[in-house]
Amino acid sequence: MKKKLPRPRIQRAFVRWFRESHNRFAVPVRLTKISAEGILLNFPNHPDCLSVWLSRWGFNVSVDWRGVNWDRLISLDACPEPVPGLSMPLVQRIGSGLAKLTR
């Protein structure tokens, strides 16, 4: 039997926030899959081929058709970096620059 991996704390916090806040989005968004590797979201009023994958290491918006990835609309890498005073900050690489998230 495969051992179930624990979900990262930041993922649990996102899911809790999403469940409390999803009704504030201008476009309906649905949590499709939650696993130790990440979270899959899609848009109920739009074609199923459009999806969002959130993981500890990145954020991707993709177009998949019949099991084939046709395009990645956006892909942002993220990695945990310790910063004094913050519990789990992320540093995102956008182009050649760095943008530090403080909350």
Predicted confidence (pLDDT) at residue 96 exceeds the cutoff of 50: no
String of DSSP letters for 25-94: -SS--EEEEE-SS-EEEE-TTS-TTEEEEEETTEEEEEEEETTEEEEEEEEEEEEE---TT-SS-EEEEE
pLDDT attached to residue 98: 45
Mean pLDDT, the chain, integer? 76
Segment 44-59, tens digit of pLDDT: 888 888 999 988 888 8
pLDDT of residue 94: 39
pLDDT of residue 67: 84
DSSP secondary-structure letter at 98? E
Q: Which two tokens mark 53?
A: 């994958």
Q: Is 23 helix (H, G, I), strand (E, B) or coil?
A: helix
Regarding pTM above 0.85, the answer is no
Q: Where are the domains of the chain?
A: 9-101
pLDDT at 42: 92
* Segment 54-83 mean pLDDT: 83
* 17-27 per-position pLDDT tens digit: 899 998 898 98
